[in-house]
DNA sequence: AGCACGCCGACT
DNA sequence: GTCGGCGTGCTC
């Protein structure tokens, strides 16, 4: 390994000519050097206006679009530096504060700037399209038109109808409105344009209409106090502060957000609201739009490139003041951002799991800090990290403990199912409770976090199990509409059921365990006169199906709801009074130390679905471990006590948030290649750590591995990982900064797929 | 990551 | 004699 830290050839020292530093996405740790086709780099005063603009560059034998991130002396041999083909933007597309933020993300996650920019920009912008985007044309009546259009001949009925529309409507007319008046609208509008009676402008690119205002709820004292604390901070211009808003389900967090947003909008500033992937429901958008009475830009995975581009441009130009979006919206540019909100901050969908593995929550806190604006992190069940930050006085705690209206918190009880024969997954006590609640005409929700019919297909004779050919995992049996089939939930591999056991030829193939499909079958059998609705990824695959099913459930058209965790988040089922959790035991003893935290959060989320109206809710939790100390803590003393105990356990075990981790993952078709890469990396890290320790030897570094990933083979690749942990985040980062150029240059690295996961959330 | 170059087997 | 297999190596 060489010790060339820039990863570049030595520059000719006789020249320090300034060149463009261009962030290209690819295996480059640092930006690449290019000469300017217009020689704008000759004038230092111009430099600030060059940084943040897109350029088209020659790259090998093709051309790419990339961003200028700096103007500085060349690091590369001058004769090898190529000249850019053209400037795409006249003005920077990324402003200094955006670049500072992206640079911080690049440094923190040790990801090349080109990759970070790629993650941050919408595809259209990455592809070189113009930054601004306009919707369809709209027309406004002019002063002259106002005089003339009243005096149209009586017999020109169609024309008069359109004119009437122009005279009465206060906002510009679009083609839909005009078309509704007369089929010849285009001819008339063109005629009036020529006469100067109407004028044409570009309308906004979004189509979302502002919802009709709904009833306003007065805030209770708790809510008002939370709003006041944040708003007073905004008003005083004190800059950055982070608040953890901990409010139990039904305590009205959304009203608090709305009141805060309202105040910030009044000041003429913008707001960013991050929501989990599943949380961006039409009801949520409707609620914000109806309350705020202004258009809201959206950004989520179901949107197409045009819609993303539109949202991006609308907030950048300041035309729209509120952006609500999932993870990737954290990168949206703003003209004048005044407040950041992140709802359900504990949700795992905020962590990107491929490419640049960023945590939208963590980097939003940083962004708020850079922009000197407050941030509110909301949750009923905050992450241990955030509670830790409250303890460390980095976050200020705001609590909401009162449920709105008369609703009481549900009673949660553990049901010991040890020794009970429960082939159908529902024990006798839960079944009895279901009967009671159903007889009273109420809804029941059964939660089972396992989709499909059965997780295992097994030969009764020899014990053979249907395995995925490309993963170390069982294939799940699914009951399709026409036939049964086997599906791997990890790689999507699908196949038909074998007629007989491939190992011994026996025809005694049995299904073991239960998924939501089998549960549905059983429940329909038990309660034939009741309507059963199953809501999981399979039953909601079709577009709009999720909406349809949840609305059906909310209207009370179903008696029994069966669902996976997608049912637990963001939906209100006012008639549900009994919630049954069928199997939470996987969460108690997992190799992933975060599993208990997840289990607790999910349990309370699901429990929160019960008894939101007047009727008191009941929650029954089936478990084989009724004595599990953390589970008991959660049920008897609540989430706060659970979190405190869990944090103490983490401290004892030297785990985050007490320690800082980085996971190096590696996969290859050949297992040895992956192991070689990680072993060589480990040796390099040990060596570099020694040099770091020479300055001050007061910190700990633990290297754990290489070990195989919990699922060693996935999609035909062998997967290994090396865990780094330290009690000093700066030291850990220094170590990675020292090590990274070596990794990029290592020939071993090119034979495998590897990535860094800073603050890993999952071990899979 | 792509994409060309390069050096060996089965085909018109 | 060629077409094409995917190993190796480079991109400012």
Q: What percent of chain A has pLDDT over 90?
A: 44
pLDDT of residue A6: 41
Indicate the average pLDDT of chain A.
87
- A315-339 b/e with 16+ CB inside 10 Å = b? bbeeebbbbbbbbbbbbbbbeebbb
Q: CA–C1' span, A496 to B10, in Å?
A: 36
pLDDT of residue A707: 92
Question: 């900064």: which residue's tokens?
Answer: A737
Q: How far apart, in whole angstroms, are the C-alpha atoms of residue A208 and residue A518?
A: 40
- In sequence order, the 6+-apart residues with CB closer than 8 A to the CB of A741 are A4, A5, A6, A7, A29
A27 CA: nearest nucleotide by C1': B1
pLDDT in tens, A320-358: 999 999 999 999 999 999 999 999 999 999 999 989 999
Q: What is the SS3 assignment for A38?
A: coil
pLDDT of residue A1: 33
Question: 């060149």: which residue's tokens?
Answer: A19
pLDDT of residue A49: 95
Q: In this structure, is the CB of residue A469 within 7 Å of any atom belonging to strand B? A: no
Q: Rounded mean pLDDT of A692-719?
A: 85
Q: What percent of chain A has pLDDT over 70?
A: 96
Q: CA–C1' span, A62 to B3, in Å?
A: 10
Q: Rounded mean pLDDT of A12-35?
A: 84
Which A residues 7-26 have CB within 7 Å of strand B? 26
CA atoms within 13 Å, Cβ hemisphere of A213: 7
A28 CA: nearest nucleotide by C1': C11
pLDDT in tens, A228-248: 999 988 887 778 999 999 998
Q: In this structure, is the CB of residue A747 within 7 Å of any atom belonging to strand B? A: no
Least confidently predicted of A4-8, A121-125, A220-224, A520-524: A4-8
Q: In this structure, is the CB of residue A9 within 7 Å of any atom belonging to strand C? A: yes
* H helices present in A128-244, as ranges: 143-148, 157-168, 175-181, 185-195, 221-236
Q: How far apart, in whole angstroms, are the C-alpha atoms of residue A209 and residue A549?
A: 24
Q: How far apart, in whole angstroms, are the C-alpha atoms of residue A448 and residue A583?
A: 6
pLDDT in tens, A626-670: 888 989 999 999 999 999 999 999 999 999 999 999 999 998 888
Binding site feature residues of A for Zn(2+):
459, 462, 468, 471, 488, 491, 501, 504
Q: Is the pLDDT of residue A99 over 60?
A: yes
Nearest to A214 by CA among A320, A285, A319, A296: A285
3-state percent breakdown (helix, strand, coil) of chain A, nearest 5? 35, 25, 40
Q: CA–C1' span, A738 to C12, in Å?
A: 23
Nucleotides of B under 7 A from a protein CB: 1-4
pLDDT of residue A499: 87
pLDDT of residue A281: 79
Give the highest mean pLDDT range of A125-139, A217-231, A583-597: A217-231
Tell me the pLDDT band of A407, cut-offs 50, 70 and 90.
low
**Domains of chain A, first to last:** 18-127 (3.40.1440.60), 136-203 (no CATH), 221-400 (3.40.50.300), 411-452+515-653 (3.40.50.300), 456-512 (no CATH), 660-758 (3.30.70.600)
pLDDT of residue A162: 81
Tell me the pLDDT band of A54, cut-offs 50, 70 and 90.
very high
pLDDT in tens, A201-217: 777 777 666 777 777 77
Q: Rounded mean pLDDT of A100-120?
A: 96
A60 CA: nearest nucleotide by C1': C11
Q: CA–C1' span, A538 to C12, in Å?
A: 48
Q: CA–C1' span, A79 to C12, in Å?
A: 10
Q: In this structure, is the CB of residue A73 within 7 Å of any atom belonging to strand C? A: no
Q: Is the pLDDT of residue A718 over 70?
A: yes
């Amino acid at each position: 390994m060489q010790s060339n830290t820039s990863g570049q050839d030595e520059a000719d020292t006789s020249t320090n000519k300034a060149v463009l530093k261009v962030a290209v996405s690819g295996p480059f740790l640092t930006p690449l050097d290019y000469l300017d086709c217009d020689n704008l780099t000759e004038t230092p005063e111009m430099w600030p206006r060059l940084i943040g603009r897109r350029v088209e560059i020659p790259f090998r034998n093709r051309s790419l679009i990339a961003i200028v991130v700096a103007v500085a002396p060349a690091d590369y041999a001058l004769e090898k530096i190529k000249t850019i083909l053209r400037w795409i933007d006249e003005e920077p597309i990324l402003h200094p504060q955006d670049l500072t933020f992206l640079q911080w993300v690049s440094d923190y996650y040790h990801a090349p700037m080109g990759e970070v920019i790629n993650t941050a920009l919408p595809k259209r912008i990455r592809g070189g399209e113009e930054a601004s985007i306009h919707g369809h044309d709209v027309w406004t009546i002019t002063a002259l038109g106002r005089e003339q259009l009243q005096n149209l001949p009586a017999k020109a009925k169609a024309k008069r109808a359109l004119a009437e529309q122009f005279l009465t409507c206060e906002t510009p007319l679009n083609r839909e409105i005009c078309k509704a008046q007369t089929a010849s609208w285009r001819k008339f509008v063109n005629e009036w344009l020529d006469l100067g009676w109407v004028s044409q402008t570009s309308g906004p690119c979004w189509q979302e209409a502002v919802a009709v205002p709904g009833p306003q709820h007065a805030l209770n004292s708790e809510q008002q106090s939370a709003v006041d604390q944040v708003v007073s901070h905004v008003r005083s211009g004190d800059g950055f502060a982070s608040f953890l808003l901990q409010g139990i389900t039904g305590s009205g967090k959304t009203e608090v957000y709305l009141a805060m947003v309202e105040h910030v909008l009044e000041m003429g500033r913008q707001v960013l609201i991050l929501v989990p992937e599943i949380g961006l429901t039409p009801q949520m958008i409707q609620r914000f739009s109806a309350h705020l009475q202004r258009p809201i830009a959206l950004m989520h995975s179901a949107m197409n490139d045009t819609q993303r581009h539109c949202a991006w441009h609308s907030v950048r130009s300041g035309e729209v003041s509120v952006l609500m979006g999932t993870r990737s919206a954290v990168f949206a540019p703003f003209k004048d951002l005044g407040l950041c909100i992140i709802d359900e901050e504990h949700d795992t969908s905020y962590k990107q799991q491929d490419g640049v593995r960023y945590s939208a929550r963590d980097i939003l806190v940083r962004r708020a800090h850079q922009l000197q604006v407050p941030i509110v992190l909301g949750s009923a069940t905050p992450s241990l990290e955030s509670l830790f930050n409250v303890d460390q006085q980095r976050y200020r705690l705001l609590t909401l403990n009162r449920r709105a209206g008369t609703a009481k918190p549900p009673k949660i009880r553990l049901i010991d199912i040890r020794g009970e024969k429960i082939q159908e997954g529902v024990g006798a006590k839960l079944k009895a409770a279901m009967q009671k609640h159903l007889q009273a005409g109420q809804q029941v929700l059964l939660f089972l976090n396992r989709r499909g019919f059965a997780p295992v297909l097994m030969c009764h004779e020899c014990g053979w199990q249907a395995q995925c050919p490309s993963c170390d995992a069982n294939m799940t049996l699914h009951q399709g509409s026409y036939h049964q089939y086997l599906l791997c939930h990890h790689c999507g591999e699908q196949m038909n059921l074998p007629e007989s056991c491939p190992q011994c030829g026996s025809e005694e193939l049995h299904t073991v365990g239960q998924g939501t499909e089998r549960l549905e079958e059983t429940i329909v059998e038990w309660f034939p006169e009741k309507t059963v609705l199953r809501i999981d990824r399979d039953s909601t695959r079709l577009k709009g199906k999720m909406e349809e099913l949840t609305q059906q459930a909310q209207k009370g058209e179903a008696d029994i709801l069966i669902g996976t965790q997608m049912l637990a988040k963001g939906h209100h089922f006012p008639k549900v009074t009994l919630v049954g959790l069928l199997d939470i035991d996987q969460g108690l003893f997992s190799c992933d130390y975060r599993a208990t935290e997840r289990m607790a959060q999910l349990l309370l989320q699901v429990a929160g679905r019960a008894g939101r109206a007047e009727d008191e809710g009941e929650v029954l939790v089936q478990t084989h471990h009724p004595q599990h100390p953390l589970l008991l803590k959660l049920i008897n003393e609540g989430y706060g006590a659970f979190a405190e105990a869990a944090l103490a356990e983490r401290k004892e075990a030297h785990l985050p948030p007490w320690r800082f981790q980085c996971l190096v993952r590696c996969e290859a078709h050949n297992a040895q290649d992956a192991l070689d890469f990680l072993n060589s990396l480990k040796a390099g890290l040990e060596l570099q750590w020694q040099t770091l320790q020479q300055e001050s030897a007061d910190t700990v570094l633990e290297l754990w591995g290489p070990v195989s990933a919990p699922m060693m083979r996935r999609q035909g690749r062998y997967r290994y990982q090396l865990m780094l942990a330290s009690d000093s985040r700066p030291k850990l980062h220094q170590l990675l900064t020292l090590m990274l150029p070596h990794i990029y240059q290592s020939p071993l690295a090119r034979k495998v797929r590897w990535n860094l996961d800073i603050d890993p959330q999952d071990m899979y």
